[in-house]
Amino acid sequence: MAAARRAPRPAPPGVAANDGIAAMIRVDQAGEYGAVRIYEGQLAVFAADKAKSKTVAAIRHMAKQEEEHLRAFDALINERRVRPTALEPVWRVAGFALGAATALMGEKAAMACTAAVEDVIDRHYAGQIEHLGDRDPALKKTIEEFRADEIAHRDTALAHGAGKLPPIACSAAPSRRDAVWRSRFRRGYERSSE
């Protein structure tokens, strides 16, 4: 007797069909949340130190843009009924800890962390833009705009001394790539360019 084949499970209520775009939105929202938390950790260490006012101003500017990105992806999560990542509690703690730890190592280490993370995100967004092609022009435009901001953040970090430090704080990049992949729960668009 042949075993009966079951139909694929339907998406839970409120969850968009997994066509890859939902996975993009989910991972991008998680990544922007992680970036906000990294900057919050850095500012928790640097904000009271008047000698670091230039660094604090740069971090606050980048953090403000990341908060704008997060609000945009939060809106997309709600509008498109995409399931957010279940790993948000991990990113809340890990992002803040990474930011605070690199800030405790000094301004250049904090900026090296930023440069490493933004380099990963630049490549990540470039892969998404390529993957989207002509599909979903509004999402593609948003990602292109945010990618430009991320490149500017990397350049700001390099201008603040990130390139003058041995790559000790740059170990954030591989863990950030893993975080991006885990936020997708191994579903969605291909893991091609991260």
Residue-wise pLDDT for 119-137, tens only, equals 999 999 999 999 999 999 9
Average pLDDT over the chain, rounded to whole? 83
Does 9 reside within a domain?
no
Does 192 reside within a domain?
no
Instruction: Count other C-beta atoms under 10 Å from residue 1's C-beta.
Output: 3
Q: How many domains does the chain have?
A: 1
Tell me the residue range of the domain where 57 lies. 21-183
Q: CATH number, domain at 45?
A: 1.20.1260
Q: What percent of the chain has pLDDT over 70?
A: 75
* pLDDT for 149: 97
Distance CA(119)–CA(125), nearest Å, equals 10
Reply yes or no on whether the pLDDT at 78 is more than 90: yes
Alpha-carbon distance values, 18 to 10, 53, 111, 122 (Å): 10, 45, 36, 24
* pLDDT for 181: 44
178-184 mean pLDDT: 49
Residue 51 confidence class, pLDDT cut points 50, 70, 90 = confident
Residue-wise pLDDT for 143-178, tens only, equals 999 999 999 999 999 999 887 766 554 554 445 455
Does 194 reside within a domain?
no
Does 16 reside within a domain?
no
Does 2 reside within a domain?
no
Does 191 reside within a domain?
no
